[in-house]
Amino acid sequence: MSAPFYVSPEQWYQDKAEYARKGIARGKPIVALEYDSGVVIMAENRSATLRKISEIYDRIAFGGVGKLDEYENLRKAGVRYADMRGYSFSREDVAGKSLANEYSTVLGSVFTREMKSLEVEVLVVEILDKGCAFYQIRYDGSMTDATHYAAIGGDGDKLLDQIRGGWSAGISLRDAARLGRRALAGSGNGASIDDLDERNLEIAILDRTRRGRTFKRVSAEESRALLSG
Amino acid sequence: MFKGQTYAGDSFYEFLRVDHPNLLPNWGGTNWADVSLIHGTTVLALVCKDGVLMAGDRLATEGHAVGTRDLEKVFRIDETCMMAIAGAAGPAIEMVRMFQLELEHFEKLDGQPLTFEGKANRLSFLLRQNLPAAMQGLVVMPLFAGFDHDKGRGRIYKFDITGGRFREADSYSTGSGGKDARASLKKIPRHEELTREQAIEAAVEALMDAADEDRATGGIDVARGIYPTTKIATKTGVEDVSDDELRRVYERILAGRKGGS
């Protein structure tokens, strides 16, 4: 039996990271912005049925970029995790932070142990009693958090620069959605702003004014009204 | 994908059974018929013009004693449907919780809600899982009703302990005072013309009749402000009927009865 070729761990991780980054860079980004009564989450998405943004629990939403089957599996695992915790404790005890930690653990352990890392980036959005929280988990399990807005996929710095320039506390849903569209169009990875309309934007909100499950998809008609003018 | 998750389907109950069996109730090993437990009594459902109404008295018995005076026995399950329970309250309320989660879980994983028929079948499934407990005396008798968007009207299903699922066209009532409430409800001539107001009145009257004949059914308790739990499912969702409205209906019925006798 021949010995396997030696590859230094450093080289191995670098290769895996590069592989993951390449995969993720091909996908379209997601932005999420706090507005006066919730959070709006947006992505360019030409499919009407395959979703990048979904509901996890009463006050928690999920966004995934990269390989669809991989973030879809992460999403489902998150729903199971959240529902199980809500069932064994109470609905109020399901927190975005613990879910984000689970994602971080899974992505991190796949990155270190498996041949192929997951080519995804995950965003966990949560509205809290006051304000909201955004947890961004990268392919290697590293996690960052933000308080007012966040972006995953695409050119993150560019997206955040755009949002930073236009966002202010107490911004309306309409202004937040239009700012989100500007940021997505300016990320250099997708369609131009004139192309980004209700037909190829996926928009969802976590709406504080709703009781219980606050997640709501914004329909095409509602999106048109929101973005027009 | 997460630690401890092996199940890959869309059912929450199955997920717990496979990956977290310790979270599921286990009522085996005892003959519960000999144990004094909280029991829910009379609940009813009736179809009306805009959808379907569900109501239940608030009393729960514990043997021959009052268990709770203000138990809720009618539950909103999701945007379109409701479930009412009679029988052993502990397992019944647990079943409500599981049913709510089962439907929500499916909707989130699959991206769209189950059809009305599909929801009723899921409740059948949960009842079948409860069969061993039912055989030991923990009988749960649910009533399921809601607005069926595919058919454009309110619908009612009753169940037996085997999970048998039976459609009721107009109205039904179950629990200890169910028979008396049914005798009252069957006088309603045309359900498709029943307004919201009339439906509430018919429901309150049926529960009053049940409380009159059945010792285990609670009457309306004005002194404590305890009114039947009443909910209506229509095209726009499931809404509660407020205590104020119920009190007005109750006073009107009383006035009518005094005047008539």
Instruction: Say yes or no for a CB contact (<8 Å) between B2 and A81.
Output: yes
Judged by phi (left if over 0) then psi (alpha if -120 to 50, else beta), residue A201 lies in: beta
Per-residue pLDDT tens digits for B208-232: 999 999 999 999 999 999 999 999 9
Architecture of the domain defined by B12-20+36-260: 4-Layer Sandwich (3.60)
Confidence of residue A196 (pLDDT cuts 50, 70, 90): confident
Q: Measured between alpha carbons, how far is residue B165 from residues A181, B102, B157 in Å?
A: 49, 18, 7
Residue A181 pLDDT exceeds 70: yes
Instruction: Say yes or no for a CB contact (<8 Å) between B1 and A54.
Output: no
Average pLDDT score, chain A: 93
- For residues A49 and B81, which has the higher predicted lDDT (pLDDT)? B81
Residue B261: its pLDDT value, please?
Answer: 45
- Annotate A103-141 with DSSP letters as a single string: HHHHHHHHHHHSSS---EEEEEEEE-SSSEEEEEE-TTS
Residue B205 pLDDT exceeds 80: yes
Does residue A62 contact residue A206 with C-beta atoms inside 8 Å?
no
Q: Provide the domain count of chain A.
A: 1
**Domain containing residue A37: CATH number:** 3.60.20.10
The owner of tokens 């169910």 is: B178
> How far apart are alpha carbons B21 and B4 in whole angstroms?
12
Per-residue pLDDT tens digits for B10-67: 999 999 999 999 999 988 878 888 888 999 889 999 999 999 999 999 999 998 999 9
Counts for chain A of helices (H) and strands (E), in that order: 6, 10
- Which of B163, B143, B7, B8 is CA-nearest to residue B77? B143
Confidence of residue A67 (pLDDT cuts 50, 70, 90): very high
Per-residue pLDDT tens digits for B69-124: 999 999 999 999 999 999 999 999 999 999 999 999 999 999 999 999 999 999 99
Give me the mean pLDDT over the A205-220 stretch.
Answer: 95
Residue A17, in any domain of the structure = no
B41 carries an active-site annotation: yes
Average pLDDT score, chain B: 94
- Annotate B99-135 with DSSP letters as a single string: HHHHHHHHHHHHSSPPPHHHHHHHHHHHHHHTHHHHH
Cβ contacts (< 8 Å) between B12 and chain A: which residues? 80, 83, 87
* Most A-contacting residue of B108, B109, B239, B240 (CB-CB within 10 A), to test interface: B108
> How far apart are alpha carbons A44 and A226 in whole angstroms?
16
Find the domain containing A50 and state its range.
Answer: 25-227
Catalytic residue among B30, B41, B174, B217: B41
Cβ contacts (< 8 Å) between A78 and chain B: which residues? 2
Would you state the torsion angle of the CA atoms of residues B55, B58, B60, B64, taken in this order, to the nearest 10 degrees? -110
Share of chain A above pLDDT 70, in %: 97
> How far apart are alpha carbons A75 and A78 in whole angstroms?
5
Give me the mean pLDDT over the A24-41 stretch.
Answer: 93
Instruction: Say yes or no for a CB contact (<8 Å) between A84 and B1.
Output: no
Per-residue pLDDT tens digits for A7-16: 898 998 899 9
